[in-house]
Amino acid sequence: MRATASLMAMCAAGCRPELAAPDGRLDAPRVLAVRAVPAEARPGETVAFEALIAGPDGPVDPAPDLDWSFCLVRKPTGEENVVAAGCLRRGEVLLQEESPTSASGEVPDEACSLFGPEAPPEGRPQDADTTGGYYQPVRLALGAEVSIARLRLTCNLAGGGAEIAQTLRERHRPNENPELDGWEGLPADGLAQPGRTYDLRASWAPEAEERYAMYDPRAQAVVERREALIVSWFATAGDFAHARTEGENTWTAPEAEGAVHLWIVLRDGRGGVSWRAAEVRVRRALR
């Protein structure tokens, strides 16, 4: 089973956060990331999803159809996976396919009781992540490969009292997808030398690292935090020094000549996603 990292923060433990070799190379068609618009939603709101799919030869064309659905299976107490193993089965609420790589649907009305802080019919409410967030699982099937993305939810605060709940509502800012300005370091003419190492750097505007309010149960107060941003790196050939970094990396071009496709995926700590693609041609210099 494989799963990508999220809207989203895609599932881990049994589900792998990256669908590539440790150095970011692609060995088969994979869902590399899923972007939700808006990046955070309330139950009943309509959300549009787009998947980034790539393989050893670059963008998969024609793009294969994905099977999209919302999972409504709560994670049992004691299960270590980020989402319930039952989410690997087809979800109960199907999304409307908009294109081979996109779909849309209304967030289930029961999302905040199944996956959030509101009291469920059975059991206890879910715990928030380190950013105070809760997530609705989204299942994608690419043939036999299943990926689980997670959409950040806006739910009512269940603990802390009425005054803190009101403060959080007033200060809450729904997450937005961070936007990449681009990346630097690839040859300007699109031609890379075989075996040469290139220093790469992804860039984004300062506002991409959003400040947000969250309830800190230890302090019993609403506190302000700043998002962390992580970049994942993928390529059809060559080697990255690291699969994920805070923005800088090196890529060593392959010895074999030919076209190479590269992608960077920017994720924030609350599930926002964006990506950029590039293509270079590896060719020996003419003498």
Here the tokens at position 271 are 């599930």
Comparing C-alpha atoms, which of 23, 1, 22 is closest to residue 11? Answer: 1
Query: In this predicted structure, what is the pLDDT of residue 22?
Result: 55
Q: Is residue 4 part of a domain?
A: no
Distance CA 176, CA 36 (A): 9
Give me the residues paired with residue 265 across strands. 232, 275
Place of tokens 């996603």: 273
Q: Is residue 226 part of a domain?
A: yes
244 vs 6 pLDDT, higher one: 244
Highest mean pLDDT among 39-53, 139-153, 162-176: 39-53
Q: Is residue 18 part of a domain?
A: no
Check if the beta carbon of residue 115 is closer than 8 Å to that of residue 74: yes
Q: Is residue 7 part of a domain?
A: no
Distance CA 21, CA 28 (A): 10
Here the tokens at position 64 are 């294969």
Q: Is residue 167 part of a domain?
A: yes
Q: Is residue 38 part of a domain?
A: yes
Residue 239's domain comprises 30-282
User: pLDDT per residue over 88-136, tens digit each?
Assistant: 888 778 899 999 899 999 999 999 999 999 877 777 788 889 999 999 9
Give the global pTM.
0.88
Here the tokens at position 25 are 């190379």
Q: Is residue 11 part of a domain?
A: no
Q: Is residue 72 part of a domain?
A: yes
Here the tokens at position 29 are 């068609």
Place of tokens 């990256």: 18
Comparing C-alpha atoms, which of 193, 173, 170, 179 is closest to residue 255? Answer: 193
Comparing C-alpha atoms, which of 80, 75, 70 is closest to residue 34? Answer: 70
Total domain count, the chain: 1
Query: In this predicted structure, what is the pLDDT of residue 23?
Result: 60
User: pLDDT per residue over 221-271, tens digit each?
Assistant: 999 999 999 999 999 999 999 999 999 999 999 999 999 999 999 999 999
User: pLDDT per residue over 42-89, tens digit each?
Assistant: 999 999 999 999 999 988 877 777 899 999 998 877 677 788 888 988
Reported residue count of the chain is: 287
- Count of Cβ atoms closer than 10 Å to residue 121 Cβ: 8
Distance CA 272, CA 257 (A): 36
206: domain CATH number? Answer: 2.60.40.2410
